[in-house]
Amino acid sequence: MWSDNRYLNSWIQEVATLCQPDATALLTGSPEEMKKLEEALVLKQALIPLSSTLRPHSFLARSNPDDVARVEDRTFICSLAKEDAGPTNNWKDPQEMKKSLNGLFAGCMRGRTLYVVPFCMGPLSSPYSRVAVQITDSPYVVLNMHLMTRVGLPALEVLKDNPFVKCLHSVGKPIVDAKDEADSWPCNPKELCIAHFPEEREVWSFGSGYGGNALLNKKCFALRIASKMARDEGWLAEHMLIIGLTNPEGKKRYFAASFPSACGKTNLAMLTSCLPGWKVECVGDDIAWLNWAADGTLRAINPEAGFFGVAPGTSFKSNPNAMLTIRENTLFTNVALTDEGDVWWEGMTDAPPKHLISWTGADWTSQSRFTAAQANARFTVHISQCPIIDPAYDAAEGVPISGIIFGGRRATTHPLVREALNWSHGVFLGASMTSETTAAAAGELGRIRHDPFSMLPFCGYNMGDYFAHWLSMEKKGRKLPKIFYVNWFQKDGQGKFIWPGFADNIRVLKWMFERVEDSREAKQTPIGLLPKPEDLDLSGLKLQPELLQQLLAVNPAHWKKEASELSRYFALFGDRLPEALSNETVQLQKAFL
Ligand code: GTP
Ligand code: SPV
Ligand code: MN
């Protein structure tokens, strides 16, 4: 008897029989438990303790070089019907997939410990929260989950004797010889498979120990499975940060923003304002669950309890709040190690230290021809350490959302900011998101791709149905948030970013706040409502007038191309594309004929 939950007890038995671990442990969530795991990993040299003065109680993990990011082409949505996975997901027949997974998992935990990690996504007392259980043979994954979710007995207390989402994970490398025993990052990239069963509410992940492949609480459950639950139950599970924005008069409004992976969510979520009197507070940096409350407001909770943030580019200049968040009790993965026992990555300081040990364990100097940190190097840390944590981050009822922001990484075409004309135009803006690919997923970098709602890799069902679900949110009595679309990433002829970004993004947030409050006018264009240049607060910023003009331009040649590409893309969805979106596309095309 592992717990009071009969489903859990029989599942543990079933998985142990299949995977044949040496030992089984149910996690309580206590700090002592975490300490024991850390000590064991340090002993195995799978964790390097950092300097206790420079980075107290913090560790560095180095992954296998073939296991550094999410792998989208090995990620599957195994819905009963192929059409329910839709044209943007990899589909496999659930029965066939289960058969092959049963083969892969048979005996896969030999020599290892099977950890059972109950976890609650969202505040323990929130009606919007959901409990799941991850079984994993990776102690590194367990440590991450301790930092990022509400784990252990408190989660089991919430669960009681109810069914839960089953998340089964193995690094896919049983210990058979001394080499396996010594391996500090076991994984099995050749057999990698991350399979989702949306109808059964199950995830099976095999072969990776990294990020979204292995921390099944995050993208696998809180987005892919949860998006399907949300559709069935009338809510939204989104790849969004959540912030509170306060103006100099003390009025506060909450915004949620959806940008693709490595496109600025963590940075916006922790923004330090460069405008006096304006303040940002952080509710979450990656995932939002949105529900309609009885009073018609859209309430957001952050299902997570910690950050799994991109390290490269993070500095006291770009994101001081992130730097303060990770000053201690932080788990770093694939960053460089300094001679003093601290961490470093590209962009952390203007000049690199003279000598480093790179993420692969090699000596590094500024003459080296490889980067010191891996491009998708990350920090894992509990949200409570964020100096600008919002007082309501753990509130059961969530926070009321006044504005939703979409955005992507585009060198041209998309202006700094625009506002949707109405809800269905806003859904169209979300559906039409495009962005350059980043190191957050394995594959080519910098290729422009469609990433609707930044959910391309994370939607657990047919994306056409997902669009329809968003459209269906517009109902009588609901206070619909205003919808915006931003682009911090326009470049000049030399390939330099035009907009300073980071702290200066508050200038754009201020305009959106004023729009939400109906206290600013806007200019109507065929792509939405744009700020009048004089309405953007650019005080203290040296920006040449031609550059400001470029930031707010609607270039007809660019938009003609964009609209025709969009029409080609939407055709993929066939009759699952809602009519409202095909109408919007036609309108856009007509405007730039
Ligand atoms: P995921 O955790 O993968 O979902 O990423 P994210 O959306 O949270 O992205 P994050 O904030 O970590 O930023 C990713 C990269 O974009 C970092 O290297 C940042 O330095 C860079 N970045 C973020 N905001 C801005 C901005 O306003 N301007 C510019 N030029 N770069 C930015
Ligand atoms: C992302 O890729 O959007 C991330 C990192 O937030 S991971 O957890 O690996 O998905
Ligand atoms: Mn993300």
Is residue 450 a contact partner of residue 437, using CB atoms and an 8 Å limit? no
Q: What is the CATH number of the domain that holds 321?
A: 2.170.8.10
Q: What is the CATH number of the domain that holds 79?
A: 3.40.449.10
What local confidence, expressed as pLDDT, does residue 125 receive? Answer: 98
CA distance 34 to 224: 28
- For ligand 2, atom 7, which residue shows the shortest CA distance? 212
Q: Is 315 exposed, middle or buried (0-12, 13-18, 19+ CB in 10 A)?
A: middle
Q: Which residues pair with 169 in a beta bridge?
A: 136, 205
- Indicate left, alpha or beta for 279 from its phi (over 0: left) and psi (-120 to 50: alpha): beta
The ligand with the least distance to the CA atom of 218 is 2
Q: Does residue 111 sit in the same domain as residue 187?
A: yes
CA distance 135 to 228: 22
Closest atom, ligand 1, to C-alpha of 489: 30
What are the tokens at 37? 């795991």
Q: Does residue 332 sit in the same domain as residue 223?
A: no
Q: How far is the CA of 261 from the centre of ligand 3 (A)?
A: 5
- For ligand 1, atom 22, which residue shows the shortest CA distance? 264
- 590 inside domain: no
**Ligand 1, CB cutoff 6 Å, lining residues:** 259, 261-267, 285-286, 309-310, 312-313, 318, 440, 488-489, 497, 501-502, 505
3-state secondary structure of 177: coil
- 54 inside domain: no
The ligand with the least distance to the CA atom of 266 is 1
**Ligand 2, CB cutoff 6 Å, lining residues:** 70, 211-212, 218-219, 261, 286, 308, 440
Ligand 1: which of 238, 243, 267, 308 to mutate, judged by most atoms within 8 Å of the beta carbon? 267
Q: Which residues pair with 130 in a beta bridge?
A: 121
What local confidence, expressed as pLDDT, does residue 404 receive? Answer: 99
- For ligand 1, atom 5, which residue shows the shortest CA distance? 262
The DSSP call for residue 309 is E
Q: Does residue 288 sit in the same domain as residue 375?
A: no
- 317 inside domain: yes
Q: How far is the CA of 219 from the centre of ligand 2 (A)?
A: 7
Q: What is the CATH number of the domain that holds 407?
A: 3.90.228.20
What are the tokens at 332? 């770093």
Ligand 1: which of 240, 310, 380, 383 to mutate, judged by most atoms within 8 Å of the beta carbon? 310
CA distance 11 to 16: 8
Q: Does residue 322 sit in the same domain as residue 243?
A: no
Q: How far is the CA of 551 from the centre of ligand 3 (A)?
A: 26
Residue whose entry in the numeric block shows the structure tokens 């994101």: 319
Q: How far is the CA of 286 from the centre of ligand 3 (A)?
A: 5
Q: Which residues pair with 193 in a beta bridge?
A: 206
What are the tokens at 492? 């000049």
Ligand 2: which of 265, 308, 374, 453 to mutate, judged by most atoms within 8 Å of the beta carbon? 308
Which of these three, 234, 260, 283, is where a domain ends? 234
- For ligand 1, atom 13, which residue shows the shortest CA distance? 264
Helix-then-strand count for the chain, H and E: 16, 31
Q: Does residue 155 sit in the same domain as residue 224?
A: yes
Task: Compute how many other C-beta atoms are within 10 angstroms of the C-beta atom of residue 127.
Answer: 12
- For ligand 1, atom 19, which residue shows the shortest CA distance? 313
Beta strand 241-246 pairing with 23-26 = unpaired
Which of these three, 204, 234, 264, is where a domain ends? 234
Task: Using alpha carbons only, give the angle 170, 90, 238 rounded to the nearest 5 degrees.
Answer: 80
Q: Does residue 317 sit in the same domain as residue 177?
A: no
| pLDDT in single tens digits along all 593 residues of the chain | 899 999 999 999 999 999 999 999 999 999 999 999 999 999 999 999 999 999 999 999 999 999 999 999 999 999 999 999 999 999 999 999 999 999 999 999 999 999 999 999 999 999 999 999 999 999 999 999 999 999 999 999 999 999 999 999 999 999 999 999 999 999 999 999 999 999 999 999 999 999 999 999 999 999 999 999 999 999 999 999 999 999 999 999 999 999 999 999 999 999 999 999 999 999 999 999 999 999 999 999 999 999 999 999 999 999 999 999 999 999 999 999 999 999 999 999 999 999 999 999 999 999 999 999 999 999 999 999 999 999 999 999 999 999 999 999 999 999 999 999 999 999 999 999 999 999 999 999 999 999 999 999 999 999 999 999 999 999 999 999 999 999 999 999 999 999 999 999 999 999 999 999 999 999 999 999 999 999 999 999 999 999 999 999 999 999 999 999 999 999 999 999 999 999 999 999 999 99
Which of these three, 316, 350, 385, is where a domain ends? 385
What local confidence, expressed as pLDDT, does residue 521 receive? Answer: 94
List active site positions: 263
Domain count, the chain: 3
Element (H, E) at 241: strand 241-246
What local confidence, expressed as pLDDT, does residue 1 receive? Answer: 87
Q: How far is the CA of 309 from the centre of ligand 3 (A)?
A: 8
- For ligand 1, atom 23, which residue shows the shortest CA distance? 264
Is residue 5 a contact partner of residue 160, using CB atoms and an 8 Å limit? yes
User: Residue 576: how many CA atoms within 13 Å on its side-chain side?
Assistant: 17
- 578 inside domain: no
The ligand with the least distance to the CA atom of 265 is 1
What local confidence, expressed as pLDDT, does residue 240 receive? Answer: 99
Q: Does residue 404 sit in the same domain as residue 280?
A: yes
- For ligand 2, atom 10, which residue shows the shortest CA distance? 212
Q: Does residue 467 sit in the same domain as residue 327?
A: no
How many angstroms separate the most distant Cα atoms in the chain?
70
- 287 inside domain: yes
Global pTM value: 0.98
Nearest Cα to Cα of residue 506 among 417, 435, 436: 417
Q: Does residue 350 sit in the same domain as residue 478?
A: no
Q: Does residue 462 sit in the same domain as residue 503?
A: yes
Nearest Cα to Cα of residue 278 among 257, 249, 255: 249
Q: Does residue 259 sit in the same domain as residue 354?
A: no
- 510 inside domain: yes
Q: How far is the CA of 168 from the centre of ligand 1 (A)?
A: 30
- 486 inside domain: yes
Range of the domain at 17: 6-46+73-234
Q: Does residue 98 sit in the same domain as residue 145?
A: yes
Q: Which residues pair with 252 in a beta bridge?
A: 246
- 68 inside domain: no
What are the tokens at 533? 């240049």
Q: How far is the CA of 263 from the centre of ligand 1 (A)?
A: 4
Closest atom, ligand 2, to C-alpha of 239: 3
What local confidence, expressed as pLDDT, does residue 384 receive? Answer: 98
What are the tokens at 16? 């142990």
